[in-house]
Amino acid sequence: MSERLERRVLQACNAVGTLNEYWGFKSIMGRVWTLLVLRRRPTAQSEVAELLGVSKSLVSSTMTELVGYGLVRQVSEHRNAPYEAVLDIWPVVTDVLRTREWMLLETTRLALESTREELRDQPDSPYDLERLEMLLSMVCAIQGLLRLVLSIRMPGSARALADWIKSVTELIGNLRKLP
Amino acid sequence: MSERLERRVLQACNAVGTLNEYWGFKSIMGRVWTLLVLRRRPTAQSEVAELLGVSKSLVSSTMTELVGYGLVRQVSEHRNAPYEAVLDIWPVVTDVLRTREWMLLETTRLALESTREELRDQPDSPYDLERLEMLLSMVCAIQGLLRLVLSIRMPGSARALADWIKSVTELIGNLRKLP
DNA sequence: GGCGTTGTTCAAGAGTTCCTGAACAGATAG
DNA sequence: CTATCTGTTCAGGAACTCTTGAACAACGCC
């Protein structure tokens, strides 16, 4: 059993963990998920804890969370059944965007619109209606982009994904000629 | 001076603050920037502190940070000169993405590639080469998308932005016919 | 110059989040 | 049935971020 390989795998798990920590998830979730992806066979919590060098209690709660998100599943309903990673994560990503992100944008939009109504009646206040409308149109633009992204049917398989990205790239290459 | 308007403005600032807190910035930065955007005229730190109901020390350090990002500027070089918001934030956004996000992705990619080299020599380890290559292609795909976004020349004015988004939307509408 | 206002710096408090260890519960094997 | 292994729960510790208040420095006005 190669010591070096284990170290490299750990590094990879940590890198992915750091990456999705930056996207608002806990680092440990990314580490566990990545480990399960890389493992050839379903793996028990105790082994995950040992491989990652964290406590089994942390693994337990993280597994619950991951299963809740649909990023990981147990191979059977037995209490001690091992876990495997779900590889098609696009549904999860869109779901998170749809709930969290959309709600935040909607709240912001509504707050700005309330302010606009109030501001319309007071033309000589220290606040600028035009600037507010600019902010509002930015929020709406972002909402539009988000709606766009959510409407995309991303290919489930990784192989198809690469091709998909490529065609999108070509297509959007035309955008530079637009403005 | 309308009490209600002030409350609405505060709500709007808080909403934007919450939004960009979710994107990895401090909430207070969004609140200050939004307030400066909405204000018709450049505003002194003391007034910002009073309007937002936070300490002047917090406003001071936040201003330093915002100026550092290029999201806000002082109208003159005088020590006590008031501040105004920079409205064209696209350069800042791309800059942040280019540094922070790109570096994280690159680190992850390199870690995965090291692991792949190691794994190639050990076909009977508990780790799966194919799965790893799938992860790697996902990271590369995301890097591709990021490169794409960074190459976009976003219109500076908000008015143009809305039109721009609209044309992008139409263009990408074709994507659904692709797969 | 003296005084009030404005901005800066820094130590410390408040509040969060992440993680652990211990106690408990459920399953399996001998 | 007992012993052992695995997973769950929860109180608490460690580390971190956000924010404040106090002390200090710079500027303007009288």
- Say yes or no: Cβ of A74 under 7 A from any atom of strand D: no
Structure-token pair, residue A150:
């959510």
**Angstrom distance, A80 CA to C29 C1':** 15
Neighbours of B36 (CB within 10 A): 25
What integer pLDDT is reported at residue A150 of this predicted model?
Answer: 84
| Mean pLDDT, residues A130-147 | 89
Which residue from B87, B122, B168 is facing A175, i.e. has the nearest CB?
B168
Q: Give bridge partners of residue B43 from the DSSP assignment.
A: B83
A142-A144-A149 Cα angle (round to 5): 95
Strand locations in B34-157, DSSP E? Answer: 72-74, 83-85
Rounded distance, CA A39 to CA B131, Å? 8
Mean model confidence pLDDT for chain B: 89
Burial class (CB in 10 A: 0-12, 13-18, 19+), A34: buried
Task: Give pTM, 2 decimals.
Answer: 0.90
Alpha-carbon dihedral sign for residues A144, A146, A151, A155: positive
Confidence of residue B179 (pLDDT cuts 50, 70, 90): very low
Q: Tell me which of B138, B152, B157 to substitute to probe the interface with A (most A C-beta atoms closer than 10 Å).
A: B138
A112 alpha-carbon distance from chain centroid: 27
CATH of A3-85, one of 3.40.1390.10, 1.10.443.10, 1.10.10.10, 2.60.40.1180: 1.10.10.10
What integer pLDDT is reported at residue B142 of this predicted model?
Answer: 86
Rounded distance, CA B175 to CA B29, Å? 36
Structure-token pair, residue A66:
């991951």
What integer pLDDT is reported at residue A173 of this predicted model?
Answer: 63
| Residue B127 phi, psi dihedral angles, 5° rounding | -105, 150
Structure-token pair, residue A31:
């580490």
Confidence of residue B27 (pLDDT cuts 50, 70, 90): very high
Confidence of residue A147 (pLDDT cuts 50, 70, 90): confident
What integer pLDDT is reported at residue A156 of this predicted model?
Answer: 62
Confidence of residue B141 (pLDDT cuts 50, 70, 90): confident
Rounded distance, CA B175 to CA B28, Å? 38
Which residue from B105, B141, B158 is facing A161, i.e. has the nearest CB?
B141
Confidence of residue B148 (pLDDT cuts 50, 70, 90): confident
- In chain B, which residues have their Cβ closer than 8 Å to the Cβ of A4? 118
**Angstrom distance, B107 CA to D6 C1':** 35
- In chain A, which residues have their Cβ closer than 8 Å to the Cβ of B39? 126-128
Confidence of residue B174 (pLDDT cuts 50, 70, 90): low
Read off the pLDDT of residues A8-60 as tens digits, 9 standing for 90 and up. 999 999 999 999 999 889 999 999 999 999 999 999 999 999 999 999 999 99
- In chain A, which residues have their Cβ closer than 8 Å to the Cβ of B38? 115, 127-128, 131-132, 135
Which residue from B19, B152, B175 is facing A108, i.e. has the nearest CB?
B19
Rounded distance, CA A116 to CA A97, Å? 27
